[in-house]
Each structure stands twice: as structure tokens, then as C-alpha cells.
A and B are shown apart, each in its own frame.
Chain A
Amino acid sequence: MSKLVKIQGLEKSFGKVQALKNVSFDVGPGEVVGFIGPNGAGKSTTIRILLGIIKRDAGSAEIFGKDVWRDSFEIHKRISYVPGDVSLWGSLTGGEIIDLFMKLHGSGNREKRDYLIERFELDPRKKSKGYSKGNRQKVGLIAALAVESDLYIFDEPTSGLDPLMEQVFQEEVEKIKKEDKSILLSSHILSEVERLADRVVIIRQGEIVESGNLDELRHLTRSRVVLETEGDVSKMLEVNGVHDFIQRENQGIFSADHEHLNDILIEASRLKVKKFEVAPPTLEDLFMRHYQG
């Protein structure tokens, strides 16, 4: 099946500032793509172009094979979107706003709405000017999750939510994922992306610097090893592929190149291993590698 989202050589400038230089990536059917990057990298700009809120300067952007600017009306029948900063009309209640968004989307499900309101513990009778940032975010999320769509676009959806509600959000997204829906999830909460995403696209200063599935990307980095031995652990320092070695008594902490893992294990076993822990590289490590340049 063809790609749901297809972006090729996207460019956008605001006055003299070039916000997007060359952005290309795609989202396949049933795929969850994590879109990560620091603030100001161009995540929201890309998403706003996808939604037809702003117009690209160059390149192509398609959703469901249709042009995001020209055919935005057709496209919007089958997508859900939650902005990173949900801003609401103070004089309306959360419940009213959710109903309005669902109606404007077109394919709402009333039971699902009530179920989500309960799950997210939102008081729908409260005027939204009294909502905290997290509660406003919940309104946006409930409205987006309660409708049937083929593509869900979330722009830093959990900002302001407490960890419990973040958990609820992730569970609900996993449900959508099981229904084979596609999701574009922009975030800088790495654990969230790590848990949900099949593939990650990293953007930095308006350019895609890395993309691939998580396993592929992890090969580019090193694992973190904690090793405790009976013998002198400092000998590990001389082994090929051991980096950033720190010693605490007879415990050594270091990063290990994956291609030298065998040598490391052979040397470690000579020192009589008491404890051996390996942590796979986190997205954090991926992230830092790109941002440190």
C-alpha cells in the first residue's frame, strides 16, 4: 500500500528566517512515526504545512495522495489533530468544545467521548477559562481520539499532562495503533516516542538529520555497560571499543561499541564477573548525539 503521508524537499521561510530547509519523510499505513527535535527545529511548522494552515514555499507534501494545501478539505475528513498548545474559548465548557470539534470533524462517537472524558478525568462542565494547561490539553486529546480517522497528527500532545495522564494517553494511542491507524507523533518526551513509535524522524534546524526504525538507529550508538569483577576492573580500559570508562571501586561503567562486544566479554570473563548489566541506548543518547553536533 502507498504511503499516507509523503513529504519531499519541503521548504518554508518566515521573512528572512528559513524555518524548513529540506524536509523529507513519510508515514506508511499502520505506522507510528515519532517526529522529534528541540524547540524551534521546525516540527510545528511541518505539521502546520501538513494541515494546510500555512503554505509551503517549495517541495511537495501529500496526505492520502492528495496535496495538503489544495485538497485540505478532502484530507481533513480523515485526520485528527491535536496542537501542542490547545487554546480554548474561555466562555465555553470543555464538554461543549469537545462536542463542537467532534461535530466539525464529522464522525464522532458519543460513547467513546464519554469513555475518554472519564479516563482522562476531565470535568466537562467547567468553563474552559478555568482549566489548567493540562486540562486544556485533555480537551484537545479527547476530541481527537473520539473521532474515527485514518491518520492522527499529535504535536507534543502530552505537554502539561501529569505522568498518570501521559500513561492514559499512551494506552489510548496503543489502541489506535492496534487498529492499524497511522500516527505522526511529534514530541520531545523521548520515553513516549520510544514506547509508541515504529520509526523515528529527527529534525534539527529545519533539516531531517536522521530517520529509521529504532533498532537501526540504535546500531549507530553504544550500549551502556555496568561491570563488577573480582579482579582489577581498570584492565577493561585497554580493551578496544570501551569508551568513557569510569571506575568506582571494583565496578566499571562504560559505553561499548557493538562491533567489539565479543572482545569486551572475553576480557571481562578473565576478571571473574560478579555483575554485568547492559542497557540499550535510549533515544536520549540518539538525540544528544545529534544535538551535540
Chain B
Amino acid sequence: MKEKFARWHILLLQYFKRDWKKIFIWILALGLFSAGFIPAFEEMAKGDGLIGMYETLRNPAMVSIVGPTPIKEASKYTLGAMYSHEMLLFSGLFAMIISILHVIGHTRKEEDLGLTELVRSFQVGRQANSLAVIVETIFINLILALFIGVIMISFSADGITTLGAFLFGFAIAIAGIIGAAIGILMAQIMPISSAATGSSLGIMGLLYLIRGGTDISNIKLSMLNPLGWVYLTYPFTENNWLTIIFGLIFSLVIMILALSLEGRRDMGAGYLPERQGRANAKKTLLSIPGLFIKLNKGTIISWLIAFPVLGAAYGAIYGDMETFLESNEMMKQMFTYSGISIEESFTSTIIMVMVLLVAILPIAIVNKLFSEERNLNLSQIHGTKVRRSQLYWTNIFLAGLVSIIGLGLAVGGLGGAALSVMKSTTMNIVDFLVAGYNLLPSILFFIGLAGLVLGWIPNLRKILYIYLSYSFFVNYFAGILNLPKIVINTSPISWLPKMPIESFKFKNFAIITIVSIGLTLLGYWGYKRRDMVEGA
């Protein structure tokens, strides 16, 4: 028994040395994300904010996304209750994802890469690596828990108790530990690391969806869900430590199971056979468009699912919109314009958010062409009779196409949900769609920029996301920050009318579309004549 894990503590020390930068960023970023929004929530809670949020988040659509709260009446909804209600589940999910990736990356992936083979040739137990990685991950999550607790307390906000803050931290940590357990188990069962990662994240997604259902229908069933144990701790309200214990026992059992499975298998093997792929390609793959559709398929499909879901999540707010907006001065400034119906002004802002969200996908598709180039994946294709124009335009058109589809889904989801929860309104679904497609040229503008960057300065492609976030910031906060017009106009969204509160302007629509097409042409000119960057 001892031999199997021989020298694991030496590996553990080594791993802390190897990973310390990653660990530092992990704890800092996730800690700040989980605990750092307290001042913003304090701001939101001012006035009748808590009551407004309570009404909004009690909506079943919201419960299925962020989880439930044990509070039964709005007057008892404290800052702490609201914070854990909105933040805990998502913070837990992030902790879980990072832990899964870390554990599999340092166990199964290293095995696939042949690193484990090297390590095992030394005087090191067969399973020492797995144990060391598990202990490392648990340790990181515990530090994270303490860090979160300390940050939360440091704000010394009303309703954020010491006990609650640490419970909040430990609830996130237990999510990470459960993730580590699932990861190490899948690492044994699956034949390769990517399958292990995929199935672990899949299990997590499934648990999330199931709890979304049981939270609404019968919350007791969520008690049987490992993901439920994270938010059913109810920090700051019921302070229920019991589910943390459940999580620990569960993780321990799964980890022991995983280690015993590992003890019985050969290195590099799994318990499930590797799925056999196709020996021959389908006809649909055999072209440049076919190839890039296939390469982007996963990304496209997941975003196209996410768009209507996010749209519907925002749409669900419309039912309680008035309470929501009336309750809070800051929100009111952001969303309302004098003399216009509240749902119309709200719509114009939310649609702007949806449009910027939709723009992420086409940028990712255009950038993908460069990462393919840099990863040497296209070397052999450059030796065939494929023109650069084909590579470039295929991706630009694909980006344009998914923008049009994605925008329709996002705005459709928003409008559909909004109309179904509003009791009386003058708006219909066409208003939503028109307001959405009115902003299409701004997405095209981002595609044009992406093409330009691809053609001339591909190494700076991350700039696009920075500019996108910047545009979001400018448009979202334009109202409250009283930004000068010249600053507001640095975002492409501002060049188009705010529908439905303003009317459609064909001239703006046409000019921005033409400019965007011009940018893609300029990008093509650069792409055609530059050196392909390979392996740099």
C-alpha cells in the first residue's frame, strides 16, 4: 500500500514549486471574482434595491439559472442573502472547472504526453503522482476558501458576517474539491485526457441542468445533487455546514474509488474503450468551408444554444421590471429615458448587451483561422491547390452567417421570454427583432476589424476582445457616468440609433455596413501578401 504512493510528498513539494504562479493567479482571480463584488452589491441594495432584486430573482427562470434562496419574504432579504444567492453557484462552477482542468491536466494529460512514464522510471510510487495532484488541488481550494472569507470580511459590509463569509468560501472550495474528485475519476475511466476533460465538464453541466429543474419543482431533490451542496449551504442566512460535510465525504469516496481503479489499470489505458472514429471522411468535410465548419462546430453550437438562453434570462426580468427599476436609482439611470415606456427603454439597453455578446462568436471564428495557421495545422494545406482567398473568405462569411443567426436567436429569446412574462405591453416580437437587426452593422464592423487584424497584425488579435469589452462599458454606463459624446462615439454601437426608442436610420445602417465590408477587403489585401506565421 505504502509503496504505491512512495515519495508522493516529494512530488507534492515539487508541484507547488512548479505551479506557484498558476496557483497565485488562480486564487487571486477566482477569489476576487467570488468575493470582490460586495461594494457593487451594496450599491445595488440601496433604497428598495433588495426588494427589487428579491422579486426579480424569485422568478423561476432566474432560480433555474442562479439557484434558490431560503428567504420567504422580501423584507428579510439582506445584502448577504442576495450576494450568496447571485454569486455562490457561479463562483462554485468556476472553482469546479478550474479544479477539473488542473487535475486532469496533471494526471491523465501527462500520462498521454509520456511524462508520467519518465517520472515512474524513478523511485516513485505508481500512484504517487495522482495522490500528490489531489492533495495539491484540495490544498489550493482550502487556501482559496480562506482568501475569499478574508476579502469578504474586509469590506465590513452590513449583513456580511464572519461565519457566513467563511462558509461562502468553503462552499466554493467544496465545489472545487468535488470537481477534482470527478476529474480524477474520469481520468481513470476515459481512454484519453480530452475525453476525461469533456466527460467531467459534461457531468458538471448535467448536474447544473438537473438542479435547475429540481430547484423549481422540489428543492429537496437538489439535496441529492453534489452541485446542490454548494449553494444549499445558504451562507449569511441559514449557514448550513452540513452539506459541506456531504461534499467532503462524497469527494473522499470518489477519490478512493478513482485511486483503486487507477491501481488496476495499465498506464495509458482506460476502462472505456476509445470510440472508433471514421476511417473515411464524410463528403461534407471535404472542402475548406466543410473543414472550418467542422472545426468551429463545437464553439458555434454552444454559443447558439447560449444566446437564446441568455436572451430568455434577460427576458424573464421584464415581468418584474418595474419593481426592479423603481427600486434602485443606479439601475433607473441606466435603463430609463424620459417620456418613453419603461419596457422600450429597457429593451434598447438590453439589446445592446445582446449584440455585443453575439459579436464574441464571429470574432472567435476569424481569430481561429490565425490559431490554425500558427499551430502549423495549415502547412500541408498550403501545399495543395487552396488559395488564401478561400481560407480568408470562408471564415469571414462563416463569421457573418453565425452573427445573423446568433443575433436572431438572442433577440428572439429575449423577446419571446419578455412577451410571455409581461401582462400588458405595446411591443411585439417584431419590435425586438427589428431593434436587434438594426445593430447588425456594428457586429459586421467587429468582423471587419477582425479581418483587418488577421491580415496585418494577427499577433494583436486579442485587442478585438478588449475593444469589445470597452464598447460594452461605454454604452452600458454612458447614462450614469455622463460620458462626453466624443467618448460615447468610440463604440460602434453608438453610430446606430437606439431602437425601439429612436427610429431606424437607413443611412447609418448602410454606411457602417459598407465600411465593414471595406475593412474585410483591406484585411484580405494584407492576408494575401503577408508571410504565414508558423510555429511562432
A3-51 with Cβ < 8 A to chain B: 48, 51
- The interface of chain B, by Cβ under 8 A from chain A, is 112, 191-192, 194, 274, 276-282, 285-288, 291, 294-295, 298, 375-377, 379-387, 529-532, 534-535
Given known A-B contacts A53-B534, A55-B531, A103-B287, A85 and B376 have beta carbons under 8 A apart: yes
21 intermolecular pairs with C-beta atoms under 8 Å apart: A53-B534, A55-B531, A81-B380, A82-B380, A85-B376, A87-B377, A87-B379, A91-B294, A91-B295, A92-B294, A95-B279, A95-B281, A96-B278, A96-B280, A100-B281, A100-B285, A104-B286, A124-B279, A127-B277, A130-B192, A144-B380
- Which of A53, A55, A129 is the most central at the interface, judged by chain B CB atoms within 10 Å of its CB? A53
Contacting residue for B274 out of A55, A95, A126, CB 8 A? A126
CB closest residue in chain A, given B295: A89
CB closest residue in chain B, given A77: B385
Query: Is the CB of A52 closer than 8 A to any CB of chain B?
Result: yes
Q: A51 contacts which chain B residues (CB < 8 A)?
A: 382-383
Query: Is the CB of A101 closer than 8 A to any CB of chain B?
Result: yes
Query: Is the CB of A176 closer than 8 A to any CB of chain B?
Result: no
Q: Is the CB of B194 within 8 A of A129?
A: yes
Q: B279 contacts which chain A residues (CB < 8 A)?
A: 93, 95, 124-125
- Please give the distance in Å from A77's CB to the nearest CB on chain B: 5
Q: Is the CB of A104 within 8 A of B285?
A: no
Query: Is the CB of A99 closer than 8 A to any CB of chain B?
Result: yes
Q: Is the CB of A101 within 8 A of B380?
A: yes
CA distance A124 to B277 in the complex (A): 8
CA distance A127 to B287 in the complex (A): 19
Query: Is the CB of A86 closer than 8 A to any CB of chain B?
Result: yes
Q: Is the CB of B534 within 8 A of A48?
A: yes
CA distance A101 to B291 in the complex (A): 11
Given known A-B contacts A93-B279, A100-B291, A105-B385, A140 and B532 have beta carbons under 8 A apart: no
CB closest residue in chain B, given A105: B384
Q: Is the CB of A87 within 8 A of B384?
A: no
Given known A-B contacts A95-B277, A129-B194, A86 and B286 have beta carbons under 8 A apart: no
CA distance A124 to B279 in the complex (A): 5
Instruction: Give 19 new A-B contacts, CB below 8 A, not counting A92-B294, A124-B279.
Output: A51-B383, A53-B532, A53-B534, A54-B531, A76-B386, A81-B380, A85-B535, A90-B194, A91-B294, A92-B277, A95-B279, A96-B282, A101-B384, A104-B381, A105-B384, A106-B385, A125-B278, A130-B191, A130-B192
CA distance A287 to B101 in the complex (A): 47
Query: Is the CB of A273 closer than 8 A to any CB of chain B?
Result: no
Q: How large is the interface on A (under 10, 10 to 19, 20 to 34, 35 or more residues)?
A: 35 or more
Q: Is the CB of A104 within 8 A of B386?
A: yes
- Please give the distance in Å from A107's CB to the nearest CB on chain B: 10
CA distance A92 to B279 in the complex (A): 10
Query: Is the CB of A88 closer than 8 A to any CB of chain B?
Result: yes
CA distance A153 to B380 in the complex (A): 11
CA distance A76 to B387 in the complex (A): 10
Q: Is the CB of A99 within 8 A of B281?
A: yes
Query: Is the CB of A245 closer than 8 A to any CB of chain B?
Result: no
Query: Is the CB of A186 closer than 8 A to any CB of chain B?
Result: no
CA distance A143 to B384 in the complex (A): 11
Q: Is the CB of B291 within 8 A of A55?
A: no
CA distance A52 to B529 in the complex (A): 10
> Per-residue 0/1 for A64-94: is the Cβ within 8 Å of any B Cβ (1 yes, 0 no)?
0000000001001101111101111111110
CA distance A83 to B380 in the complex (A): 7
Q: Is the CB of B375 within 8 A of A87?
A: yes
- Please give the distance in Å from A27's CB to the nearest CB on chain B: 16
CB closest residue in chain B, given A127: B277
